Amino acid sequence: MENQLASQELRPHVLAVPFPAQGHVMPLMKLCRKIANRGIKVTFVNAEHIHAKVIAAMSDEDKKQQCIELTSIPDGLQTEEDRKNGLIESLRRTIPRNDTFDRED
């Protein structure tokens, strides 16, 4: 029993968070499937509106065989806000800015 608990604690766990825009989610999902097929635990985190689309697009077979834990987080936009044009501004408001590269020495 102790060995089983110890091995679970030492098992690698990948947390994947794609940039929430078209063209970023599926390539990272493919990579995560390859990682999960090697026995590594993977949690894939999406913005809520993208998560709903991913779940809706999955077949019943995909849902049964899912080797990746899918979860979501809020994207910072209200339901009625334009996600195409409001995404970058929302990210600017929610992600701290790093001015290191903007400085001139």
Range of the domain at 78: 10-96
Band (pLDDT 50/70/90 cuts) for residue 1 is low
Q: Answer whether residue 69 is part of any domain.
A: yes
Q: In what helix (H) or strand (E) does residue 8 lie, and over which residues does it extend? A: helix 2-10
Given this model, what pLDDT does residue 14 score?
95
Half-sphere exposure of 50 (CA within 13 A, CB side): 26
Domain with residue 60: its CATH number is 3.40.50.2000
Q: How many domains does the chain have?
A: 1
The set of long-range contacts for 25-28, using a CB threshold of 8 Å and a minimum separation of 24, is 25/50, 25/54
Rounded to the nearest 10 degrees, the angle between the axes of helix 48-57 and helix 25-36 is 60
Instruction: For residue 40, count other CB atoms closer than 10 A to its CB.
Output: 14
Nearest to 87 by CA among 45, 50, 51, 55: 50
Band (pLDDT 50/70/90 cuts) for residue 18 is very high
Res 42 pLDDT > 90 = yes
pTM of the model: 0.67
